[in-house]
Structure 1
Amino acid sequence: MIKFFRHIRQTIIMENSKSTRYFKYAIGEIILVVIGILIALQINTWNQARLERISEQNILKDLKVEFEANFIDLNRVLNQHQLILKELRALQVISKSKDYTNIHLDSLTNSLIKWFSFTDRPGASNNLISAGNLDIIQNTELRDLITQWTGNVNDVIDDEVFLADFTRETILPFLSKHYPITNLEESNIKLLESLDMKIDREASLVFDKKMVNWQVLLENEQLQSYVALKKMYEYHCVLECRITMRACKKIISLIKSELHD
């Protein structure tokens, strides 16, 4: 009887030992599987991050092209606004000094009907924002500036549209009644030539310059008000262009700092 119970006890011990080894083996396999999954996930994360960085570099290159083009056009428009502002002030100075024989009066009068507009080059920035992929840009300051860019552009365009409407709807009708507009053709051609534009035969001069009573025109209080208003509107355009150019310059600088080549 004692031998029988001893046999049973040894059998149980052996089976427990086998169960323990099996349990340890199962736990080991589970751990290996988990480690494998974690390694696979980490590799996938690294690969995804690598692909995102490649994508970010390509996007940054497109953004660089876009904002460098924007900067060039902003600079063009700013220079023109500053020139018109300078010409309008010169017209006021001549009017105040009563220098009615000044040879520049016609060309300065041409500044009253000129306007220029900034042309935004939307591309990579718009695509990023509309697709909700802006987070691919790691630099948070750059992301913020790109997000704000549309607002900057709208501020510039709003002032320019207001100025263009004022010029077209108020100044032009006044000048057409009080000044021979044909006199402005020569100044307009010179302006286009300064912008390296070819002048077709159809745009060449036909009429000779007509005499203008500059004293009557320049002492007209309504004209003086229009000149002052346009001068103020031009200055607002100058300020908005400067603000937007600073933002654009900062964006370009940040893009270059993020590019690897």
Structure 2
Amino acid sequence: MIKFFRKIRQNLLMENKTGKYFKYALGEILLVVIGILLALQINTWNQQRIEDKKEIELLTSLKEEFQYNLTSLDESIKVNNKVNQSCAALTQIIRLNSLEENPDLVDELLINIGAFNSFDAITGVSSEIVNSGKLSILKNGAIREQLGNWLTLIIDCEEDILFRSDNYTMNLMPFLMERFPLANGELTKKLPFDKNNYLKTYKEKSPFRFNLPKEDLMEFENQVWHHKHNHDYVVINELNLKDFILSTITMLEKELEKQ
């Protein structure tokens, strides 16, 4: 092709057709420019297609990750709601001073209030996007901001989880261990993550009886209340996280529909 154009230029010069030569040369330059522009445009289209494909992959992976977290969070909320219910039931028994009348129920409730759960979010995809420079691939600014807020929310919730656990271990448990045969809780203990019933529990009740003087009732109520109070923060955090996850999944689904 290049030889063909060169031959035309040579013939025009030999025939002393300078005007036509310059016109032809100008046309040839325009063709070259147009060719370059087309090549650049095609390259841009290809690059955009690759980025669009990457974006769809990221959005799909994010949706799957948030859906997994939603399922895990729902399980945690269910377990932690039972803790609150057990705290309320135990408080009622304390106020009625009817511990001796309901020993089996008290044993069960003492186990229940310690069976709290901690939601551990999976953040592999979202963390990689934020920390590896892939955030710019996502065109939706609201989704980019949502991912940053998501990682921050999880960190903020961890403080309340640790505070609840520390208070239960350092305050409530020492109080209970001095006054109640906690081993009785083994008869009714269930672990939510024991899907295949691997847990082996005691078959007989403890030979010891609880020893709670009447003057300790108020402290007992306060201990249970303090545990519930710390637990409430975790529960509210989880419910807020659920709202956040649901809104994020909706945003991701809408963005995927545009693709």
TM-score, length basis structure 1: 0.83
User: 1 CA distance for matches of 2:81 and 2:29?
Assistant: 74
SS of equivalent residue, structure 1 residue 92: helix
The one-letter amino acid of 2:67's match is E
User: 1 CA distance for matches of 2:204 and 2:161?
Assistant: 32
SS of equivalent residue, structure 1 residue 116: coil
Aligned to 1:237: 234
Aligned to 1:255: 252
- Structure with higher Rg: it is 1
Contact 2:73 2:238 in 1 (8 A): yes
Aligned to 2:166: 165
Work out whether 1:211 is the aligned partner of 2:209.
Answer: yes
Deviations 1:128-154 (A, max 9, x none): 112111121222222211121111212
Aligned to 2:72: 73
Aligned to 1:134: 135
Deviations 1:95-143 (A, max 9, x none): 1122221241111122343331111112221121121111212222222
Work out whether 1:228 is the aligned partner of 2:192.
Answer: no
TM-score, length basis structure 2: 0.83
Contact 1:192 1:199 in 2 (8 A): no
Aligned to 1:199: 198
Deviations 1:235-259 (A, max 9, x none): 1111111111111111111222233
User: 2 CA distance for matches of 1:78 and 1:206?
Assistant: 30
Structure 1 residues 58 and 172, CA, compared in 2 at 3 Å: closer, same or farther? same
Measured after TM superposition, the shift of residue 197 of structure 1 is 4.2
Deviations 1:21-43 (A, max 9, x none): 33333322222222211111111
Could you say what the CA RMSD is over the residues aligned between the two structures, in angstroms? 2.5
Structure 1 residues 217 and 179, CA, compared in 2 at 3 Å: closer, same or farther? farther
User: 2 CA distance for matches of 1:66 and 1:18?
Assistant: 71
Measured after TM superposition, the shift of residue 218 of structure 1 is 6.1
